[in-house]
Amino acid sequence: MTVLEDPVRRSAGLTRVEAAQRLARDGRNELPPPKRTPLVLQFLRELGHFFALMLWVASVLAWVADLPQLAIAIAAVVLVNATFAFVQERRSDRAAQRLRALLPRRVIVQRDGEPCEIDAAEIVVGDLMLLSSGDRVCADGDVVVNRGLRVDASMLTGESESVGAEVHGRVSAGTFVVDGEADVEVVATGRATRLAQISTLTNETHRPRRPLTTELDRVVRTISIIAVGVGLTFMVVSMLLGTDHSDAIVFAIGVTVALVPEGLLPTVTLSLAIGAQRMAKQQALVRHLDAVETLGSTTFICTDKTGTLTENRMTATQLWTPSASATIDGLGYVSTATITCDSDDRTALVELARAAARCGTGRAIERDGDWVSLGDPMEAALDACARRLGLDLDADRRARPEVARFPFDSGRKRMSTVVGGSSLVVVAKGAVEGVLALCADDDASTACRRRASELTDAGLRVIAVAARRVPEGVPAPASAADAERELELLGLVGLLDPPRVDAGEALDRCRGAGIKVAMITGDHPQTALAIA
């Protein structure tokens, strides 16, 4: 159980003054930049790969054979090609650096006694991170309060199975919260994190050889052997026919140089550069030209749904209770919208929206004139839905504070909170079947399942909400099992994350190119099918 009056949970954290002092002392929470190869060495690398070396040898042989124009032309091909590839990769590197500077990374911390959202680069040692399901851990820390926290540490360990965290246990930067919540005291940031140490090691490794590079090297070796073999054959035959030895050698050199495909290198480079430029126009940055060829070898794509095929703008658009239903027009988290109800009595709908919003931690807030999510986007959508129905959630939270919270668990497929006030109320929300299993009204459950099926067929993510009043004098439930029983169904909320306008065209082009695409999502199969 999470008792929200827990003194650690109510810790004020650092003050803003203390945080600013520590930020100035320790620096920003950023990974050390990768080692950069000097520009001269980068350019020499373009001049020194196997194909370029073969052309250099051909240029020298042409010069020895008294073919200065050909020698200069071959050398110019190598220089121009190296310059072109060098400039292209430098341009991509600079663009990547600008993109890294613009990437928004936020984290919620406790400062001056209040939760606030800050730039992850500004978190400091001693800060209290407030983590919940879906958050990326941005600094190393010790778990102070644990509410069923499970993290995916595969980025660090390679193990795909999520692991639990104990109180006073350590969580590392780069891990991902898959279940539960926790308050974590930061103990290391930036270069001192475990992730930074791993990053330093990976920067010392070499990039694997690309398929195109391997194939070109094989072709070049084959051509070199053939060219030298043919040249030697012509030299021997010329000498046997009585040609002067010096003339025979010059003739053999000319034949060897003639067999070298001087145009292959710039042709390959130009083709890859054109591909990189086309991808850049589609907002895809290619840092290394040979990556274009690797991408061109793709035959199967596994894609996420949220934010990739959809706009990642979760909005509650449908409300259903056993006595009424409503449709809400508009997208995003704005607090106003057009609501169409099939009943003049909105009481049940308002109670459904209130319960759904109170059973969670995410909120919709106004920032710089725009409404954005603070925390989980789905919970922010529920918060916005309640405000659209005229509820003052801030006042409601003051009048009816949370007493305990039982975070979402993938086994239960639901979460619940205990709300105080004049009497204790348990509110649970989650997957339809997971909530209905706790409700006793079979008639309402049957109608609920039917309506849930209709909403999922329409491509909506559907959650069920239920509640019960704790008898007076009975203490707050001490466990999820104690809280989540004998509930009364309040209704369903249908949430829409609209498909991206260009997703269909992109998928059609993939299929036209012979690429198979699979969507991987944790949503209900009918919702996934509707999106697909």
Q: Which of 195-209, 287-301, 379-393 has the highest mean pLDDT?
A: 379-393
CA–CA separation, 41 vs 81, rounded Å?
Answer: 16
Residues designated catalytic? 304
| Burial degree of 422 (CB within 10 A; 0-12, 13-18, 19+) | exposed
The per-residue pLDDT for 186 is 92
Domain end (from 242, 266, 297): 297
Candidate from 104-108, 118-122, 352-356, 446-450 with smallest mean pLDDT: 104-108
Higher pLDDT, 225 or 288: 225
| Burial degree of 127 (CB within 10 A; 0-12, 13-18, 19+) | buried
CA–CA separation, 127 vs 110, rounded Å?
Answer: 7
Same domain, 392 and 509: no
Q: How many structural domains compose the chain?
A: 4
CA–CA separation, 508 vs 243, rounded Å?
Answer: 65
Q: What are phi and psi of 61, to 5 degrees?
A: -65, -40
Same domain, 330 and 444: yes
Same domain, 222 and 191: no
Same domain, 343 and 463: yes
Q: Which domain holds residue 19?
A: 2-29+123-203
CA–CA separation, 140 vs 488, rounded Å?
Answer: 42
Residue 106 lies in a domain: no
Same domain, 247 and 326: no
Average pLDDT over residues 117-121: 88
Spatial strand order of the sheet with 325-328 comes to 2-3, 402-409, 414-419, 425-430, 461-469, 488-496, 315-320, 325-328, 339-341
The per-residue pLDDT for 291 is 74
Banded model confidence at residue 127, pLDDT cuts 50, 70, 90:
very high
Question: The CATH number of the domain where 154 resides is what?
Answer: 2.70.150.10
Report yes or no: 407 and 132 within 8 Å, Cβ to Cβ.
yes
Report yes or no: 495 and 316 within 8 Å, Cβ to Cβ.
yes
Helices (H), 306-461: 347-358, 377-388, 393-399, 432-436, 442-457
Signed CA dihedral, 20, 21, 22, 24: sign only: positive
| 456-492 per-position pLDDT tens digit | 888 888 999 999 999 888 888 888 888 888 899 999 9
In this structure, what DSSP letter does residue 297 have?
A: T
Average pLDDT over residues 38-54: 76
The per-residue pLDDT for 1 is 41
User: Is the per-residue pLDDT at 508 higher than 90?
Assistant: no
Same domain, 24 and 49: no
* Cβ-Cβ contacts under 8 Å for 274 (sequence gap 6 or more): none
| Burial degree of 302 (CB within 10 A; 0-12, 13-18, 19+) | exposed
Same domain, 447 and 349: yes
Instruction: Give 439-443's long-range contacts (Cβ < 8 A, gap of 24+).
Output: 439/466, 439/487, 439/488, 439/489, 440/486, 441/488, 441/489
| 393-440 per-position pLDDT tens digit | 888 888 888 888 887 777 788 889 999 877 899 999 998 998 998 887
Same domain, 25 and 140: yes
Report yes or no: 262 and 77 within 8 Å, Cβ to Cβ.
yes
Q: Which of 222-226, 288-292, 518-522 has the highest mean pLDDT?
A: 222-226
Residue 50 lies in a domain: yes
Banded model confidence at residue 532, pLDDT cuts 50, 70, 90:
low
Candidate from 76-90, 93-107, 143-157, 346-360 with smallest mean pLDDT: 93-107
